[in-house]
Amino acid sequence: MDETKKTRVIVGMSGGVDSSAAAALLLEQGYDVVGITLKLWPQDCVSRAEDKCCGPQAVTDARSVCHKLGIPYYLIDEAEAFQKQVISYFAEEYKAGRTPNPCVVCNEKLKFGALLDRARQLGGDFIATGHFARVEKSADGRRMLLKKGRDPRKDQSYFLFSLRQHQLARSLFPLGEKTKQDTRQVARACQLKTADKEESMEICFVPDNDYGKFLAAAKLAQKHRGEIVSLEGRVLGHHEGIEFYTVGQRKGLGLSSPKPLYVIELDSVNNRVVVGDDSALDRDEFTVERCNWIPFDAPPAELRVQAKIRYNHPGTPALVQPRPGGGARVKLLAAQRAITPGQACVFYDDDLVVGGGWIAR
pLDDT along the chain (361 residues), means of 10: 74 95 97 95 51 71 96 94 93 94 94 94 96 97 97 96 97 97 96 89 78 88 94 96 95 92 96 96 97 96 97 96 96 96 97 98 85
Q: In angstroms, rounded to a whole number, what is the distance separating the alpha carbons of residues 288 and 311? A: 16
How confident is the model at residue 361, as a pLDDT? 85
Which of these CATH numbers, 3.90.930.12, 2.60.40.290, 2.60.40.10, 2.40.30.10, describes 283-359?
Answer: 2.40.30.10
Q: In angstroms, rounded to a whole number, what is the distance separating the alpha carbons of residues 304 and 307? A: 9
| Domain spans, the chain | 8-208, 223-276, 283-359
How confident is the model at residue 192, as a pLDDT? 95
How confident is the model at residue 3, as a pLDDT? 47
Amino acid at 144: M
Q: What is the pLDDT of residues 84-114, one digit of tens each?
A: 999 999 999 999 999 999 999 999 999 999 9
Which of these CATH numbers, 3.40.50.300, 3.40.140.10, 1.50.10.20, 2.30.30.280, describes 223-276?
Answer: 2.30.30.280
Amino acid at 271: N
Common-topology check for domains 8-208 and 223-276: no
How confident is the model at residue 4, as a pLDDT? 56
112 contact partners, CB below 8 Å, separation of at least 6: 127, 160, 163, 167, 171
304 contact partners, CB below 8 Å, separation of at least 6: 317, 318, 319, 320
How confident is the model at residue 330, as a pLDDT? 98
How confident is the model at residue 212, as a pLDDT? 87
Q: Of 114, 31, 117, 126, whose CA–CA distance to 69 is shortest?
A: 31
How confident is the model at residue 149, as a pLDDT? 97
Q: Which residue in the list 45, 53, 106, 190 is annotated as catalytic?
A: 106
Q: Determine the 3-state secondary structure of 150 from DSSP.
A: coil
The question of whether 204 is a catalytic residue gets the answer yes
Dihedral sign from CA coordinates of 81, 83, 87, 89? negative
> Torsion angle of alpha carbons 59, 62, 66, 68, nearest 10°?
110
Q: Are 190 and 64 in contact (CB under 8 A)?
A: no
How confident is the model at residue 2, as a pLDDT? 47
Q: Which residue in the list 53, 66, 190, 204 is annotated as catalytic?
A: 204
How confident is the model at residue 53, as a pLDDT? 53
Q: Are 211 and 91 in contact (CB under 8 A)?
A: no
Q: What's domain 8-208's architecture?
A: 3-Layer(aba) Sandwich (3.40)
How confident is the model at residue 1, as a pLDDT? 40
319 alpha-carbon distance from chain centroid:
24
